[in-house]
């Protein structure tokens, strides 16, 4: 496998879907060119995933794991064939054989159940996991559902106690629980950080990219989804039981203004790129757990956008740029998802055509990356990285 896919070549992956308790996916189908799709229980596409979805009653079904496009080989099998070459020696030494990050595209036709994910401390204590599930949403678009614009619920209001929250859960007072949280209407371009321990729910009609720590630990406090699907007990408490699951919540409430100021992130220029436009959506200054940039290459000019941490080594309309190397002699592995347009991606002396909806694993052995947009429109992508290694 390592010989078939070199550690210095982009590796195209399939578009793995995962079953979830909530309904959605129609916009995700349309994004991939299928305008006759329906909302169902596969509302998520998992990207560069080494993580299997956790679903009660579907333990024998492997979902969410990324495979090499057109092959039966999983991304995990490829990486295991030469971990240091594909992930980088420094990465493997610090994190082991894992990307350390998971990205999803999500289309919600209904509000998701109110939920929380453990922070790292609780993940170690309760799940014996080195990863919690801090996550970040970047809103791509949306649709009105029953006349309601896309929105999200985020964080406790001031004064919410564990005792009050548990009582609302026992009564299944859904409106009471929603009333304990802040609701924000969202627009394309909004980016929202959700740390482990912060209660939240994606509202109906949201189409977004989610970047997160690589686990699927989700504590749900609704026993039935808005569309009427009965949630299994273990899907609520993830094996912890209905008392201990409340250990996962942070009960330090904030005002609406403080919540927006703390969790809604502002774009800023992304360092290490030349040509086109590169902006950081979430960076290591926001959380040490992951980084995600959005890259735009104009389609009406000979522009090139280059990979992370680079030093210019060429000139002309299409600058050739060399990726900066670390002490281990390799770069950082990353993932790439094409959001808009088509064009050409070049790694070293190999070029591939890239189009909307395609996803790629970019091994650490890649030392040079260039992108060029095709004619007729911009090429827009997200490039994402695992935990900070410094």
Q: How confident is the model at residue 300 (pLDDT cuts 50, 70, 90)?
A: low
Q: Which residue has the higher pLDDT, 357 or 1?
A: 357
When comparing pLDDT for 346 and 265, which is higher? 265
Please, what's the b/e burial string for 305-324 (b: 16 or more CB within 10 A of its CB; e: otherwise)?
bbbbebeeeeeeeebebebe
Calculate mean pLDDT across residues 71-94.
94
pLDDT at 317: 37
In the predicted model, what is the mean pLDDT of residues 352-381? 90
Average of pLDDT values for 156-179?
98
Q: pLDDT tens-digit profile of 320-346?
A: 332 222 212 236 899 999 999 999 998
With CA atoms as reference, report the closest residue to 335 among 288, 291, 304, 371: 291
- CATH topology for 268-304+312-385? Jelly Rolls (2.60.120)
Whether 78 shows a pLDDT value over 70: the answer reads yes
Q: What confidence tier does 274 reach under pLDDT thresholds 50, 70, 90?
A: confident
Question: Looking at residues 162-191, what average pLDDT do you find?
Answer: 98
CATH architecture of 11-265: Sandwich (2.60)
Q: What sign results for the dihedral spanned by CA atoms 336, 388, 328, 80?
A: negative
Model pLDDT, residue 54: 75
Listing DSSP states for 290-308 in one string gives -EEEEEEE-TTS---EE-S
- The arithmetic mean of pLDDT across residues 134-139, rounded, is 98
Q: Do domains 11-265 and 268-304+312-385 have the same CATH topology?
A: yes
Domain segments of the chain: what residues? 11-265, 268-304+312-385
Stretch 139-163: mean pLDDT: 97
The reported pLDDT for the residue numbered 305 is 46
pLDDT for 257 beyond 80: yes
Q: Is 179 helix (H, G, I), strand (E, B) or coil?
A: helix
**pLDDT tier, 384 (very low <50, low <70, confident <90, very high otherwise):** very high
Provide the pLDDT for residue 377.
84
pLDDT of residue 4: 66
Higher pLDDT, residue 268 or 315? 268
What pLDDT does 348 receive? 80
pLDDT band at 316 (very low <50, low <70, confident <90, very high): very low
Give the pLDDT confidence score for residue 306 in this predicted structure: 47
> What CA–CA distance (Å, rounded) separates 65 from 51?
6
pLDDT for 7-52, tens place per residue? 889 999 999 999 999 999 999 999 999 988 899 999 999 999 998 8
Query: DSSP code of 284?
Result: T
Strand partners, 335: 361, 384
Q: Which of 22, 9, 200, 231 is nearest to 109 (CA)?
A: 22
Average pLDDT of the chain?
A: 89
This prediction has a pTM of: 0.90
The mean-pLDDT minimum among 25-34, 73-82, 199-208, 295-304 falls in 295-304
Mean local confidence (pLDDT), 69-89: 94
Measure the CA–CA gap between 180 and 299, rounded to whole angstroms.
46
Instruction: Check residue 298 and give its pLDDT.
Output: 84
pLDDT above 70 for 194: yes
Give the per-residue pLDDT at 112. Answer: 96
- Write the DSSP string, 215-227: ----EE--SB-TT
Max intra-chain CA distance, the chain: 67
pLDDT computed for residue 251 by the predictor: 98
Which of 380, 389, 300 is CA-nearest to residue 99? 389
Residue range 247-257: mean pLDDT, rounded: 97
Q: Is the pLDDT of residue 1 over 50?
A: no
Own/partner contacts of 236-245, CB < 8 Å, gap of 24 or more, are 238/54, 238/127, 240/126, 242/169, 244/126, 245/219
Give the pLDDT confidence score for residue 271 in this predicted structure: 84
């Amino acid at each position: 496998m390592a010989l078939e896919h070199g550690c210095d070549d982009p590796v195209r992956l399939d578009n793995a879907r995962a079953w979830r308790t909530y309904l959605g996916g129609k916009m995700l189908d349309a994004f991939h060119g299928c305008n006759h799709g329906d909302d169902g229980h596969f509302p998520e596409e998992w990207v560069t995933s080494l993580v299997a979805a956790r679903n009660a009653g579907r333990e024998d079904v492997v979902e969410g794991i990324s495979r090499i496009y057109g092959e039966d080989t999983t991304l995990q099998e490829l990486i295991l064939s030469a971990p240091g070459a594909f992930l980088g020696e420094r990465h493997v030494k610090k994190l082991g054989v894992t990307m350390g990050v998971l990205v999803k595209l999500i289309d919600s036709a209904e509000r998701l159940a109110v939920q929380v994910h453990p922070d790292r401390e609780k993940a170690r204590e309760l799940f014996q996991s080195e990863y919690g599930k801090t996550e970040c949403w970047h809103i791509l678009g949306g649709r009105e559902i029953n006349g309601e614009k896309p929105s999200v619920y985020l964080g406790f209001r001031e004064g919410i106690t564990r005792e009050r929250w548990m009582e609302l859960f026992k009564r299944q007072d859904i409106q009471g629980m929603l009333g304990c949280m802040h609701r924000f209407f969202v627009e394309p371009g909004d980016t929202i950080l959700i740390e482990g321990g912060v209660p939240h729910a994606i509202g109906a009609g949201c189409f977004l990219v989610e970047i997160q720590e690589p686990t699927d630990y989700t504590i749900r406090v609704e026993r039935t989804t808005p569309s009427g699907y009965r949630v299994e007990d273990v899907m609520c408490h993830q094996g912890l039981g209905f008392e201990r699951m409340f250990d996962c919540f942070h009960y330090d409430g904030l005002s609406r203004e403080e919540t927006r100021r703390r969790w809604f992130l502002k774009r800023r220029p992304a360092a290490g790129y030349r040509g086109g436009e590169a902006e950081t959506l979430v960076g290591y200054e926001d959380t040490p757990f992951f980084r995600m940039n959005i890259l735009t290459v104009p389609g009406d000019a000979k522009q090139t956008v280059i990979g992370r941490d680079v030093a210019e080594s060429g000139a002309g309309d299409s600058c050739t740029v060399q990726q900066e190397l670390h002490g281990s002699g390799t770069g950082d592995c990353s993932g790439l998802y094409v959001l808009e347009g088509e064009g050409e991606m070049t790694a070293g002396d190999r070029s591939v055509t890239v189009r909307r909806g395609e996803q790629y694993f970019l091994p650490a052995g890649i030392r040079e990356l260039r992108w060029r947009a095709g004619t007729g429109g911009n090429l827009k992508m997200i490039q994402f990285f695992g935990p900070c290694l410094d």
